Amino acid sequence: MTHAHATTADMMRAPYPAEPGAGIYSNKLGMWVFLASDVMFFTALIGTYIILRFGAGTPWPQPGAVLNVPLTAFNTFVLICSSVSMVKAFASIADGNQKGLRFWLLMTMLGGAAFVGVQVFEYIKLSGHGLLPSGFTDGSTLAEHAAGDPVKYGLASAGLYGSTFYSMTGFHGFHVTCGVVCMTWVYFKALRGGYTQQDYRGVEVIGLYWHFVDLVWIILFTIAYLI
């Protein structure tokens, strides 16, 4: 059997037992159906944010006034890098490269853990400066700044701002955390040689989840931090 001219499309149709009719193996089909439901979950969060923000009728904090955009831009880059390392892990095992699989899975885990770590750091800093889901805390740095410039800091919308910000980014962070935990499980299975060029379903399925989490963050970063 020769794979020399195998294409990416062939790689997507690896010879696993497929669901009748769909032609897709059940693990992958299940993950895509879950992701479809997760799209609706995040749509509810983002839709609520849009309605609350544009229906508030009061100024929203300007980009960069409350949040640390450079730090989160860096964190976005970290997550993008982890998405690339995930797809490299997938490509490695599709080519039968066990060493590459283990290396790139480790890089992905570290990238995901770093992302969550930076997000926790950001939350600690933000709450220290006075941004809570309920708004700006009395006597905090942010409350003082907002009193001096209520339009720039969106003083009248602070409660909505805090609650939507922590809801959207918090649920995303939870997704990343779950991804890192699952990735750790996949990594240890890979260390034991649990994936082969003939069967790498677990790698493909965790990869789909991971890229979806990256995709959602790309949208969230824009609407929560830049607009």
Partner 1 sequence: METAGHKHPNYIAIWVWLAVLTVIEVGVAFMSALPKLVLMLLLVGMALFKALLVAMYFMHLKFEQRTLRTIALIPLPLAVLLVLVAITEKIW
Are 53 and 158 contacting, i.e. CB atoms less than 8 angstroms apart?
A: no
Spatial separation of the C-alpha atoms in residues 18 and 200, rounded to whole Å: 14
Spatial separation of the C-alpha atoms in residues 162 and 9, rounded to whole Å: 44
Q: Which stretch binds partner 1 (CB under 8 A): 66-74, 143-151, 172-180, 184-192?
A: 66-74
Instruction: Determine which residue in the list 61, 66, 67, 83 makes contact with partner 1, applying CB under 8 A.
Output: 83
Residue 37 within binding range of partner 1, rule CB under 8 A? yes
Q: How far is the CB of 41 from partner 1 (least distance, A)?
A: 10
Q: How far is the CB of 98 from partner 1 (least distance, A)?
A: 12
Whats the size of the chain, residue-wise? 227
Q: Which stretch binds partner 1 (CB under 8 A): 81-89, 135-143, 150-158, 170-178?
A: 81-89
Residue 32 within binding range of partner 1, rule CB under 8 A? yes
Two structure tokens written together for 179:
């991804």
Q: What 3-state class would DSSP assign to 112?
A: helix
Task: With CA atoms as reference, report the closest residue to 175 among 144, 139, 211.
Answer: 211
**Of residues 7 and 15, the one with the C-beta less far from partner 1:** 7
* Residue in this structure with the two tokens 């889901």, named with its chain if needed: 133
Residue 36 within binding range of partner 1, rule CB under 8 A? yes
**What's phi and psi for 135, nearest 5 deg?**
120, -155
Two structure tokens written together for 27:
């693990």
Are 188 and 102 contacting, i.e. CB atoms less than 8 angstroms apart?
A: no
**Of residues 84 and 113, the one with the C-beta less far from partner 1:** 84
Residue 114 within binding range of partner 1, rule CB under 8 A? no
Are 183 and 111 contacting, i.e. CB atoms less than 8 angstroms apart?
A: no
Instruction: Determine which residue in the list 80, 106, 156, 182 makes contact with partner 1, applying CB under 8 A.
Output: 80
Residue 76 within binding range of partner 1, rule CB under 8 A? yes
Those residues with Cβ within 8 angstroms of residue 91's Cβ, 6 or more apart along the chain or in another chain:
100
Q: How far is the CB of 141 from partner 1 (least distance, A)?
A: 22
> What is the contact surface with partner 1 in residues (CB under 8 A)?
1-13, 22-24, 28-29, 32-33, 35-37, 39-40, 43-44, 46-48, 50-51, 63-64, 69-70, 73, 76-77, 80-81, 83-84, 86-88, 91, 94-96, 197, 207-208, 211-212, 214-215, 218-219, 221-223, 225-227
